[in-house]
Chain A
């Protein structure tokens, strides 16, 4: 708990990439993922995102919290959607058999298709976010925000609160143990909720006191002297960053044109078999 940021230090292409470029990449991928109602583009983006992640952080991507989230979402979106999606009409055949749940009915092609599309959309964005978070050190992120025009004091506040969460959690634990040691009842759930109140007051007071001391320490180190402190970030925009930016922008433009000319490739109304779910154009 001592480190809330999910940053994984490294030396890859994306680690050296400017935070602003990565932010733009994340925004573009988020737009592209929602452009089409078909699994192909977002699936492609998910694979690209996974490859980028693997290049940057290697095997550690499999243990990353966000990767786990994608897998948990797969269960909810693909499996449950098949049963519960209100648009589901055609029961899917599993080797000639239908599978159905009480109350919800059969597993349908439409449910599977919609669930798959939605899962791929979300997970491609999450994959990109994972790339962004795990390769951007929090201080670079804050410098990036500052350069985008966010005031320095606000950026400082963001980085300060990132640190405060684990400290407050620890403090809360200490206060809680102290009160339990003095006989705070903790048998039922109601008791536990009652116990929150006596914990809350000392927690707020101690946080305020801590902030008072911190502000003194910050003043001793010249905080507030300037709104434009010397930037200590080593990262500069390279040619390859610009190339990456241009390629993704071109891809976005191309996708938007295709979307306008040919529609969203929605197959929901034309599903009769498993193969239909992966067709680009209806038969």
Chain B
């Protein structure tokens, strides 16, 4: 058993049903993920982020057609050798559109749907559903129809329904793209809790760079199907020129520190801050 829970080796992928797009969606992707890591994937549209997500649980190359080369290993197993249903117990995938992910008549049915497809025993399914319901705080919605909930609540149900499969890796593809700031914050806190308290490996694809910077351990920056940067938030955001080149924003405070670079250096040999709190601390320490 290797030390990495997820390994992508020289992966190339080109969608079959996109004849107008000449470029492959992914080019030479190499990525190694350790157990318990919280990875944030950022990049502009069409940079291959969603394709990367679908790769993690074998939807690519099994359900979505295209030219695939390379190797994806989950827990040492090649995704090609395992069915998507079996893989769903290892890798849970949450998609951007909360409503399209829900299919059952009540929230509770939604939670039991996945495990019941795996033909687990009844008691175990109930146990699992109750555990997830407590974790995501869905008790009040138990008997409601998922379609009568708000977007944020729906996305929570979608995350819960994936968690009910008890995966080791949680992959979230823009889970907050349709949500208001409060729901977004809520989803982030849930994801963070899963990672910190339950030691779940999380791969989060998002546009909310500033919010992500507070939570994630490691950033993967993608552009045009390639990984251009990979490292801790501080490392990644110190490459301002790369972000400018791929037309992505970095957190405002980091950008500010970069703008006043010379002055900032004079304050002492600080690293660039990435959250507002850090910047406030640095400024406070200057006052003294």
- Point out residues on A near B: beta carbons under 8 Å: 2-3, 5, 9, 137-139, 156, 159-160, 162-163, 166-167, 210, 213-214, 216-226, 228-232
Closest to A170 in B: B147
Q: Shortest distance in angstroms between A170's beta carbon and chain B's nearest beta carbon? A: 9
B112 touches A220 (CB 8 A): no
Query: A221–B63 contact, CB under 8 A?
Result: no
Q: How far is the CB of B180 from chain A (nearest CB, A)?
A: 18
Q: A213-B95, A220-B95 are in contact. List 18 more A-B contacts (CB 8 A).
A: A2-B145, A3-B148, A9-B143, A137-B106, A139-B104, A139-B105, A159-B103, A210-B97, A217-B95, A220-B93, A221-B88, A221-B113, A222-B88, A222-B115, A225-B85, A229-B117, A229-B119, A230-B121
Is the Cβ of A225 less than 8 Å from the Cβ of B105?
A: no
Most B Cβ at <10 Å: residue of A9, A138, A217? A217
CA distance A3 to B158 in the complex (A): 19
Query: Whole-angstrom distance between the alpha carbons of A66 and B15 in the complex?
Result: 51
**Contact yes or no, A230 B147, CB < 8 A:** no
Cβ-closest 8 pairs across A and B: A225-B85, A221-B114, A222-B117, A217-B101, A213-B100, A222-B85, A229-B116, A230-B116
Give B229-279 interface residues, CB cut-off 8 Å to A: none
Chain A residues lying within 8 Å of B122, measured Cβ to Cβ, are 230-232
Contacts of B143 in A (CB 8 A): 9
Closest to B95 in A: A217
Residues on the B chain within 8 Å of A156, using CB: 103
Per a CB cutoff under 8 Å, which of A5, A137, A167, A220 touches B99? A167
26 contacts between A and B (CB under 8 A): A2-B147, A3-B147, A139-B106, A163-B145, A163-B147, A216-B59, A217-B93, A217-B100, A217-B158, A219-B63, A220-B59, A220-B162, A221-B117, A221-B165, A222-B89, A222-B114, A222-B115, A222-B165, A225-B117, A226-B118, A226-B119, A229-B119, A230-B119, A231-B116, A231-B122, A232-B109
Q: Which residues of B contact A (CB under 8 A)?
A: 54, 57, 59, 63, 83-86, 88-89, 92-93, 95, 97, 99-101, 103-106, 109, 112-122, 125, 143, 145, 147-148, 158, 161-162, 165
Contacts of A138 in B (CB 8 A): 105
The residue that A210 contacts in the complex, of B93, B100, B120, B158, with Cβ under 8 A, is B100
**Among B84, B103, B112, B116, contact of A163 (Cβ-Cβ < 8 Å):** B103
> Which B residues touch A228, using CB under 8 A?
119
Complex CA gap A154/B104 in Å reads 14
Q: Is there contact, CB below 8 Å, between A220 and B84? A: yes
Determine the chain B residues whose CB is within 8 A of the CB of A163 once the complex forms. 103, 105, 145, 147
Contact B85 A224 (CB under 8 A): yes
Residues in A with CB closer than 8 Å to B121 are: 230
Residue of A nearest to B62 (CB): A219
- Tell whether, in the assembled complex, residue B59 and residue A219 are in contact, meaning their CB atoms are under 8 Å apart: yes
Give the distance in Å from the alpha carbon of A274 to the alpha carbon of B92 in the complex: 71
Closest beta carbon of chain B to A238's beta carbon, Å: 19
